Amino acid sequence: MSRAMSSLNWNQAPHNRYSFQRVQSFFPSARLDRKNAQPFAFTENQQDLSAITFQNSKGETATVADMLESSFTDSFLVVKAGSIVSELYLNNMTSTSHHLVNSVTKSYVGMLAGIAIDKGLLDPKALIHQYLPELDNDAWEGATLRHVLDMTAGAYYHEDYEDRNTDFWKESAVVGWRPDLVSAETPKNLLDYAASLKGKDQQNGEKFHYRTVTTNVLGLILERAMKAPLEDLLSEHLWSKLQTQCDANVVCDAAGHLYVGAGLSATTRDLACFGMMMTGNGKLAGQQIVPEAWVKDTLAGEDCSSQCYLDSEYSVFGFSHYRNQVWVKDKDKGAMLALGIHGQIIYMDQSKDIVIVKLSSQEEQVNMDMFVDAFNAMDAIAGAL
């Protein structure tokens, strides 16, 4: 390495190949407790999937092996009906290694919201300042919980990862990820950051506009509505019920608020358990964890969901919509995605009962070709199985 790794470059190549498996060593974090749950009993039906072909982003025929080799893969796991079909670890990673999943974190928070709504603790139509009076300002004026869940809230916030001064990086500075952006004016915690936003760059509900801040706001709302720290809520209602084999951890700010926009680190198999719960309409191994109606709502969306997605900068992916902090790849096939920058993917296909987890340490935050190739390869795997 040409430069020593530091808090200034930890998430840049090539340092992220090391740091993404050790985030809890670099930043304050809170633990998601599995609470001695019995780990999911995977069966095994190992198959060689490396020669399966697909059309890559350049229109050429490529193989699954090509995709894995060219996209900085750290782990790759394919599960069909609870049985492991393929499991691969690279870059010194193992089945018990934690790995930063970036925005995959968001989908966990979206499912916790469904649990809270089912319990009558949250109303999707309610204005968010009813839960967080601190956000009664012009950025969040008129924004409902539904706007936050589907990232159609209008608060002015830009997430251009290549711009080192974009709002996303300024927010991440609050949890120590960008110390070079910290100044005397930097908000002290994630709630203060959300309250510091000014004005709107679109009308609430106008279109899907990917904003990490909305997930952090959702996490803060869940704490207020459910009257417990977010790490306890995630542990009690999700992590301990997903039959995980390891605890997880989430980066937090100085006030202890979890950075649920991007801060989860977990093992590959444990992430697959979340995927299997989603393909099971909220149920895993006979236990209903997330309300079935909430997963079905995620897949179906509402009348405006498709157009809101088509009007966004992410329409190039050709997905159905974004709902409840989950990317719905194809609502007719029941295909969903949890995605994170640098190549983190949980692929969930209800029609095939298939879950694929790919964890990576790609050089770029968003390499469209690598994402498209991974999606196409995963579609091909699902088709072959």
The candidate with the shortest Cα–Cα distance to 11, out of 283, 374, 360, is 360
- For residues 159 and 337, what is the distance between their CA atoms, to the nearest angstrom? 20
The whole-number average pLDDT for the span 52-68 is: 97
The whole-number average pLDDT for the span 250-263 is: 97
Do 384 and 52 touch, CB atoms closer than 8 A? yes
In tens, the pLDDT along 87-136 reads: 999 999 999 999 999 999 999 999 999 999 999 999 999 999 999 999 99
DSSP at 37: P
- For residues 257 and 29, what is the distance between their CA atoms, to the nearest angstrom? 10
Judging by DSSP bridges, how do beta strands 344-349 and 53-55 pair with one another? Answer: unpaired
Position 226: which residue type?
M
The pTM of the whole model exceeds 0.95: yes
- For residues 41 and 49, what is the distance between their CA atoms, to the nearest angstrom? 22
Average pLDDT of the chain is 96
- Under the banding of pLDDT at 50, 70 and 90, the label for residue 361 is very high
Tally: H helices and E strands in the chain: 13, 16
Residue 326: pLDDT over 90: yes
The pair of three-digit structure tokens given for residue 229, joined into one six-digit string: 């720290």
The pLDDT value given to residue 5: 86
| Structural domains of the chain, ranges and CATH numbers in brackets | 21-384 (3.40.710.10)
Name which of 3-7, 166-170, 292-296, 362-366 the model is least confident about: 3-7
Peptide bond into 133 cis (omega under 30): no
- For residues 230 and 219, what is the distance between their CA atoms, to the nearest angstrom? 7
Q: What residues does 270 pair with on adjacent strands? A: none
In tens, the pLDDT along 207-254 reads: 999 999 999 999 999 999 999 999 999 999 999 999 999 999 999 999
**How many CA atoms, within 13 angstroms, populate the side-chain half-sphere of residue 281?**
7
